[in-house]
Amino acid sequence: MSKIINRRGFASDNNSGVHPGILAALPKVNDGHVIAYGDDPYTEKASAQLRDIFGQETEVYFVFIGTAANVLGLSTVTQSYNAVICPETAHINADECGAPEKFSGCKLLTCNTPDGKLTVDMIASHMHGIGFEHHVQPRVVSITQATELGTVYTLDEIREIARYTHEHGMLLHMDGARISNAAVSLDCGFYEMTGGAGVDVLSFGGTKNGMMYGEAIIFFNPTLCEDFKYRRKQGMQLASKMRYIAAQFSAFLENDLWKENASHANRMARKLYAAVKDISGVEVTRQVESNAVFARIPSHIVPALQDEFFFYVWDEEVSEVRWMCSFDTTEADIEAFISLIRSKL
Amino acid sequence: MSKIINRRGFASDNNSGVHPGILAALPKVNDGHVIAYGDDPYTEKASAQLRDIFGQETEVYFVFIGTAANVLGLSTVTQSYNAVICPETAHINADECGAPEKFSGCKLLTCNTPDGKLTVDMIASHMHGIGFEHHVQPRVVSITQATELGTVYTLDEIREIARYTHEHGMLLHMDGARISNAAVSLDCGFYEMTGGAGVDVLSFGGTKNGMMYGEAIIFFNPTLCEDFKYRRKQGMQLASKMRYIAAQFSAFLENDLWKENASHANRMARKLYAAVKDISGVEVTRQVESNAVFARIPSHIVPALQDEFFFYVWDEEVSEVRWMCSFDTTEADIEAFISLIRSKL
Amino acid sequence: MSKIINRRGFASDNNSGVHPGILAALPKVNDGHVIAYGDDPYTEKASAQLRDIFGQETEVYFVFIGTAANVLGLSTVTQSYNAVICPETAHINADECGAPEKFSGCKLLTCNTPDGKLTVDMIASHMHGIGFEHHVQPRVVSITQATELGTVYTLDEIREIARYTHEHGMLLHMDGARISNAAVSLDCGFYEMTGGAGVDVLSFGGTKNGMMYGEAIIFFNPTLCEDFKYRRKQGMQLASKMRYIAAQFSAFLENDLWKENASHANRMARKLYAAVKDISGVEVTRQVESNAVFARIPSHIVPALQDEFFFYVWDEEVSEVRWMCSFDTTEADIEAFISLIRSKL
Amino acid sequence: MSKIINRRGFASDNNSGVHPGILAALPKVNDGHVIAYGDDPYTEKASAQLRDIFGQETEVYFVFIGTAANVLGLSTVTQSYNAVICPETAHINADECGAPEKFSGCKLLTCNTPDGKLTVDMIASHMHGIGFEHHVQPRVVSITQATELGTVYTLDEIREIARYTHEHGMLLHMDGARISNAAVSLDCGFYEMTGGAGVDVLSFGGTKNGMMYGEAIIFFNPTLCEDFKYRRKQGMQLASKMRYIAAQFSAFLENDLWKENASHANRMARKLYAAVKDISGVEVTRQVESNAVFARIPSHIVPALQDEFFFYVWDEEVSEVRWMCSFDTTEADIEAFISLIRSKL
């Protein structure tokens, strides 16, 4: 797989490297000693930046990766006999090797969705057996923004899910691994789409948008996470030299670097979509609302395309592929890839 | 605690920053796209470097932190009804907030040690109830090199523990969070002290010796870890942009940077020890064999010392303190600290 | 609910009491002392009876209940990153409050089935991501015989599933909570339907067929369960006075009491079915192959029926009810119930 | 081990059978159908009897065995990062194969005790690292009454431990596997020794005192166990035919059968003690305060004694043996055993 060394492709937004603005932030915090494990001024600064965005009463915790943000966020607000309702395509269900079950004990109750987005009706289909001890008890609804299929919940859709979720005594979790791409897509702020729309727990990700590592968990209600510090440590997610995660977040948020990166990635996806949607032999299969383009293409041309621009087949059976754009995808990449596709059809 | 911003102290070797040689390695691997999650040439290079040290048949996996290396290493070779025998002072027992129990289900059987080091006799005291289903079944002996008390097992001591451990059908785990300091102390290579002495699973750490984040788990017998990749993912320790962990390890190992850093830290500890051992009112409490000095000092002078050089009280009851030296501790730091101590007594 | 004290109904085959032949067996083993925890002659006798049925190389373990038999059986042959494929209606998925996930860490991959029975095609739909560390790895297929919907797998159906399961390196688990009813339905022996058809792990139940408590786990391959004794103890399922579980099993198996009980229950279900299938307003919804009758009836008559013969509504939305027959259901019960239904329509 | 079929010995109070008064209770509840899983009049009756003893606000739950009562009781009031402080000899630490750790995730912090009894000083030795995320957080103190060494806490000792425990924001758990023997020993009621002395969670056992199976968990504060019904089901401890556990408890409590049985067992132990304490070659090693006698005897006579009256060696190294008396131990048994001992010395 490493034949074409370091060639940009469309495999994933975490195949890209680190944005220079993030990388440059690391040496700036490297001076001298600070208290390990987060009791340092850099961590305090990044936390304050996130509280400025999400609300002063918000609790902010840094962990290493998105899977951990999801799993620790969910396990903090559940007991082992609870259930989490989510789309079948959710990262927590399909891509975390059972970490939510292993760590929280909870069952995931999944919904088939046409577009990766839950609806109130889908959630409602799992709301039975409440108070019945033979059944797991739904406690959290988890949505992903932007979804694993590149679609984006509207603010109204989130608010409607939050309303139903809270009416039924549950909490709303958002996996925001691509939250920047969604915010740009909706042209709204982070808070509007999360706490402002009723989200209770947020995994706020940056690695897919130019960071090296590090994810933030945002609890909008501090009573939900009074013991979180123990859970993070026991969950093997307490970084000793936390200043380097904090520095990345500070750089990510300063001067709207997150927005610049995500806007670019989304624009590249739209450009790719605009070109391929009219190519005969390519059938775009999902709404292009963030930085992903899903399409069915003839399976026999897949290897030749992958040779030059690596990407993943999403669904072998129907030859549906996923093309992810990244903060560093160039217009030239898109143009070359389109030419390549045309040449193979 | 952050009054004295970034002043070097003796609190912990992970209060220090990142060695410039490590930091400089990050931009060098930042070019273009590589396959995420470790299937990249940088990860292959660092793995090969470690295999060159530890043996070609060795399996090498990168995770984020030492706690995770310990917990995943142990849980891979145990079942939930097993037990792990370790010193009471072991990091896995005293400093990981119960992560080993939570993640593996295992009980830790602890031994009181005068110096942080297990002996065969101590291990033997837990070898009862074998085959008896009411008892947990010992499966792993875990030692720390250098220990949490700054002492170092000799090669003979490790070999003797390994012999006993293997004779009883158990495996030997080493927590090598400060393995560089131990290797320098014994003036031996990494392999000689680990696989060569009978260690089966090793947590190989660099963060306390100048790295930013990242730890390696070394399995000396590949049959022990055939399914480790699933455990790492489920254990929330699979880095997407793994190249940046790999790059740190490569820099750490190249040109013996690890040795330079650890030699310096150990030397600073010896210098500190040499000065304080004769100061009346300071009683050095542990053998100084790596980069730590433990001493009893009058409790009333602790705050004044901490004001200028932060450090931790190890045992409040007897006013025993711990002074850790780091790769960036300077001779001037030591001298200033010694003067300060003298001035307060 | 206890207004009609001890009136027989159709709620569940575990609402019934204990068969007199089982009850009479308890005093017979009450004499004197025997070694606790199963090392006694009564346990050895019952185990031998089960080995005579299932094969001499079979390993037999007693636990308290069916949920425990399922959960311990499954967790013994899985690791936490594995998955278990089962019908959505499976007891392990729908009725055990998440015990399999909590105890084993595994994810359950569920299939929608029209009749509670898995097919190879359904299983195959979950066979992706094999060897891919982001996905849970399917390790066990679990079927229930008779199913939660009262249907029964044919021997050929079991063999076909076993063939596929083994070809894909997986194991076949059978939840036999109602295995007697299935054996009677197929007119075959226990072994033919289990180990003889390719089942690897069996939960062999008697409580729904006249026992007081106690369930057996049968491992057809002893290498699968070498450490099971520790798992049972740690799983809180090791009975100290095990002779009383053993005595029940001995009585259950002697003189084919199991067959007499199950034949009767099945016959009562067929009698009920024969009468209601032609009643206008009653629509039988599932094949009646064991001791359950499922039917849609007008929801307004449900309370009046339940007042005299308690039973459960299976699916509120479509007013589908479940009527279970038991070893102690009488012909008069059936006739009275049928009359009652007629009178309310 | 079953050479001497059903001969009474001194191995354990659960090697004995079921008291005839308990056995006779089972057929009395066998009539007709009742709602399964505890919603039946027999369970309500037994619960009411226990509430009459322990207080009307008390919550009562039945499970199968003592290990489960302990583990579910503890896990209901802890989170995985908590710790339970207990004697090293506690059943939860020494005899449950790690079930508490596996099921709750908690670490057990153990104390060496001369007599199986915790003191406030011992508990206090573990009260450090409070609020420090690297340490597990003590949440429960667990005492056993009577202890595994046959000793009994006085009411004042329990009250003193409860006071300290509550002052430090913790809860007091009592493992009452032999609570009847302790109550008889102290000549007090169950409540006086438990809720009345400050116990928060009680495992109330009967199997070691003449019952067949079944244990009660008593929560003295209902806010502690609002979700216990889900934990019991998920913990594989919800009996379907619960009436038969309830019936045993009713018989156990009626006419003070518990007291009659325990008084007898204790008396037999005192009789044994009175005789052996003056035999040269036998050194009684523990206070005889309930139904156990511990003694050092020459190891060479152990096999000959065991041949006729089976018992366990408690500590091989010092040839300390345990002789347990039971509700069915006879005066003749004691006399014969004493003669045997004398004859071998």
**Looking at the partner chain, which of C106, C128, C134 has a beta carbon nearest the beta carbon of A101?**
C106
Contact check, Cβ <8 Å, D11/C35? yes
Token couple for B250: 């490569």
- Of all helices (H) and strands (E), which one includes residue A175? strand A171-176
User: Using the beta-carbon criterion (under 8 Å), do D102 and B80 form an inter-chain contact?
Assistant: yes
Low-confidence ranges of chain A (pLDDT < 50): 1-3
D339 touches chain A (CB under 8 A): no
Comparing CA positions, the residue from B313, B336, B345, B343 lying closest to residue B4 is: B336
**Alpha carbon C68 to chain centroid distance?**
12
Judged by a CB distance cut-off of 8 A, whether residue B317 touches chain D is no
* pTM for the full predicted model: 0.97
With a CB cutoff of 8 Å and minimum separation 6, the contacts of D339 are none
Point out the residue among A37, A227, A232 whose CB comes nearest to the CB of D79: A227
Q: Do the chains contact at B233 and A23, CB–CB below 8 Å? A: no
Per-residue pLDDT tens for C196-251? Answer: 999 999 999 999 999 999 999 999 999 999 999 999 999 999 999 999 999 999 99
* Distant-in-sequence contacts of A167-171, Cβ < 8 A, 24+ apart: A168/A127, A168/A138, A170/A85, A170/A138, A170/A139, A170/A140, A170/A141, A171/A77, A171/A139, A171/A140, A171/A141, A171/A200, A171/A201, A171/A224
pLDDT at D15 exceeding the cut of 50: yes
Q: What pLDDT, on the 0 to 100 scale, is given for residue B15? A: 95
Residue B260 forms contact with A (CB below 8 Å): no
pLDDT mean across residues, chain C: 96
> Which segments within A190-317 are labelled E, that is strand?
201-205, 215-219, 283-284, 292-296, 312-315
Helix axes B257-276, B331-344, angle to 10 degrees: 20
- Cα distance from A229 to chain D (closest Cα, Å)? 6
User: What gap in Å lies between CA C212 and CA C14, rounded to an integer?
Assistant: 9
Asked whether C220 and C55 are in contact (CB, 8 A), the reply is yes
Q: Which letter, b or e, does each residue of A44-73 get, where b requires 16 or more Cβ atoms within 10 Å of its Cβ?
A: ebbbebbeebbbeebbbbbbbbbbbbbbbb
Q: Which of C249, C284, C318 is nearest to C21 (CA)?
A: C249
Inter-chain contacts counted by CB atoms under 8 A, chains A and B: 184
pLDDT at C4 over 70: no
Shortest Cα distance, chain D CAs vs residue A81, angstroms: 6
Which of B67, B240, B242, B311 to probe the A interface (max A CBs under 10 A)?
Answer: B240
- Asked whether D123 and D157 are in contact (CB, 8 A), the reply is no
With CA atoms as reference, the chain C residue closest to D239 would be C65
Interface test with D, best of C240, C245, C311 (most D CBs within 10 A): C240
Distance in Å, alpha carbon of C106 to nearest chain D alpha carbon: 14
Q: Which residues are bridge partners to D283 per DSSP? A: D296
Q: What values do phi and psi take at B231, rounded to 5?
A: -65, -40
Angstrom distance (rounded) from CA C319 to CA C297:
6
Angle between helix axes B41-54 and B243-253 (nearest 10 degrees) is: 40
Distance from CA of C191 to the nearest CA of A (A): 30
Give the H or E element holding residue B182: helix B179-186
pLDDT > 70? residue D330: yes
Please give the mean pLDDT across all residues of chain B: 96
Give chain B's length.
Answer: 345
For range D185-202, the mean pLDDT: 98
Q: Is the C-alpha dihedral spanning D35, D36, D38, D42 positive or negative?
A: positive
Instruction: Give me the helices (H) in D178-308, please.
Output: 179-186, 190-193, 228-234, 243-253, 257-276, 302-308
Query: In chain C, what are the helix, strand and coil shares in percent, each to the nearest 5?
Result: 45, 15, 40
Q: Which of A92, A138, A83, A96 is nearest to A116 (CA)?
A: A92
C30 pLDDT exceeds 80? yes
Going by C-alpha positions, the residue among C25, D100, D271, C194 that lies closest to residue B106 is D100
User: Least CB-CB distance to A32: which of B8, B39, B99?
Assistant: B8
* Distances B126 to A27, B136, B140, D251 between C-alpha atoms, Å: 48, 10, 12, 42
pLDDT greater than 60 at residue B4:
no
Q: Distances from the Cα of D195 to the Cαs of A95, C221, D52, D73, D142, in angstroms?
A: 48, 49, 13, 15, 14
Among D14, D230, D237, beta carbon nearest to C240:
D14
Cα-based distances in Å from D279 to C31, D335, D342: 32, 14, 7
Measured between alpha carbons, how far is A140 from A198 in angstroms, rounded to an integer?
A: 13
pLDDT bucket at D3, cuts 50 / 70 / 90: very low
Given a contact cutoff of 8 angstroms between Cβ atoms, the answer to whether C319 and C299 are in contact is yes
Q: Do A32 and B5 touch (CB under 8 A)?
A: yes
d(CA C169, CA C140): 9
Query: In chain B, which among 194-233 make CB contacts under 8 A with chain C?
Result: 227, 229-233
Residues of C in contact with A108 (CB under 8 A): 107
Residue C3 CB neighbour total at 10 angstroms? 7
Which residues in C lie closer than 8 A to residue A98 (C-beta atoms)? Answer: 80-83, 105-107, 136
The rounded mean pLDDT for chain D is: 96
Model pLDDT for residues B83-138, shown as the tens digit of each residue: 999 999 999 999 999 999 999 999 999 999 999 999 999 999 999 999 999 999 99
Assigned token pair, B224: 């022990």
For residue C148, the chain A residues in CB contact (below 8 A) are none
**Alpha-carbon span B119 to D270, nearest angstrom:** 42
B230: chain A residues, CB-CB within 8 Å: 97
Contacts of D105 in chain A (CB under 8 A): 234
Closest approach of chain A CAs to the CA of C293, in angstroms? Answer: 22
Q: A64–B239: do the CB atoms touch at under 8 Å?
A: yes
Residue A134, chain D, CB below 8 Å: the answer is yes
Chains that touch B (3 or more CB pairs under 8 A): A, C, D
- Joined together, the tokens standing for residue D317 give 């190294």
Residue D237 with chain C: CB contacts under 8 Å = 64, 236
Residue C296 has pLDDT above 60, yes or no: yes
Interface test with B, best of D78, D102, D134 (most B CBs within 10 A): D102
In B, minimum Cα distance to A232 occurs at: B97
User: Domains of chain C, with CATH numbers?
Assistant: 20-255 (3.40.640.10), 257-344 (3.90.1150.10)
Mean pLDDT within D145-174:
98
**Contact B107/C at CB under 8 A:** no
Decide if B242 contacts B230 (C-beta within 8 A). Answer: no
Compute the distance between CA of residue B60 and CA of residue B48 in angstroms, rounded to an integer.
9
Residue C289 CA to residue C294 CA, distance in Å, equals 11
Q: Nearest Cα to B314, choosing from B8, B20, B81, B95?
A: B95
Q: Classify strands A292-296 and A320-324 as parallel, antiparallel or unpaired.
A: antiparallel
The residue among D101, D108, D135, D315 with the most chain B CBs within 10 A of its CB, best to mutate, is D101
Residue in chain D closest to A235 (alpha carbons) equals: D81
Dihedral over alpha carbons B41, B45, B50, B55 (to 10 degrees)? 90
Q: What is the pLDDT of residues D283-303, one digit of tens each?
A: 999 999 999 999 999 999 999
In the numeric block, the tokens 């040496």 are attached to A27
Residues 6+ apart with CB under 8 A from B223: none
- Across residues B12-19, what is the average pLDDT? 96
With beta carbons less than 8 A apart as the criterion, state whether A310 and A322 touch.
no
What is the mean predicted confidence (pLDDT) over D67-71?
Answer: 98
Residue C104 has pLDDT above 50, yes or no: yes
Verify whether the Cβ–Cβ distance D33 to C71 is below 8 Å: no
If phi > 0 it is left, if psi is from -120 to 50 it is alpha, else beta; for residue C222 that is alpha
CA distances from D216 to C69, D61, D202 (A): 22, 6, 8
Sheet holding A283-284, edge to edge: A283-284, A292-296, A320-324, A312-315
Residue C218 contacts residue C59 (beta carbons within 8 Å)? yes
Q: What is the rounded distance in angstroms from the CA atom of residue A185 to the CA atom of residue A187? A: 5
Locate C283 and state its tokens: 């629509």
Tell me if residue A134 falls in helix, strand or coil: coil
Average pLDDT of the segment spanning B34-50: 97
Give the C-alpha separation, D195 to D171, whole Å: 12
Instruction: Kindly report the nearest CA distance between residue D5 and chain C, in angstroms.
Output: 7
Percent of chain B with pLDDT over 70: 99
Q: Residue D344 corresponds to which tokens in the numbers above? A: 């071998």
**Among all chains, which residue has been given the structure tokens 């995808």?**
A329
Pairing of strands D292-296, D283-284: antiparallel
**pLDDT bracket for residue B7 (50, 70, 90):** confident
What per-residue confidence (pLDDT) applies to A2?
44
Angle between helical axes of A243-253 and A41-54 (0-180°, round to 10): 40
Name the nearest CA neighbour of A168 among A120, A207, A233.
Answer: A120
pLDDT at D7: 86
Query: Hey, which residues 49-68 in chain D have their CB within 8 Å of chain C?
Result: 64-65, 67-68
Contact D233 C65 (CB under 8 A): no
For residue D101, give the nearest of B96, B105, B128 by CB distance. B105
CB A270 within 8 A of CB A290: no
User: Residue A24 and residue A248: Cα distance in Å, rounded?
Assistant: 9
Of C234, C236, C237, C238, which to mutate for an interface test with B (greatest number of B Cβ within 10 Å)? C234
* Predicted pLDDT at D268: 98
pLDDT at residue C2 greater than cutoff 60:
no
CA distance A322 to A268: 14
Contact B248, B212 (CB under 8 A): yes
Can you say whether residue B256 is alpha, beta or left, with left for phi > 0 and alpha for psi between -120 and 50 degrees? left
User: What was the pLDDT predicted at D5?
Assistant: 62
Predicted confidence at residue D187, as pLDDT, reads 98
Sign of the Cα pseudo-torsion (A118, A124, A125, A129, in order): positive
Phi, then psi, of C36 in degrees rounded to 5: -75, 170
Q: Is any Cβ of chain C less than 8 angstroms from the Cβ of A11?
A: no
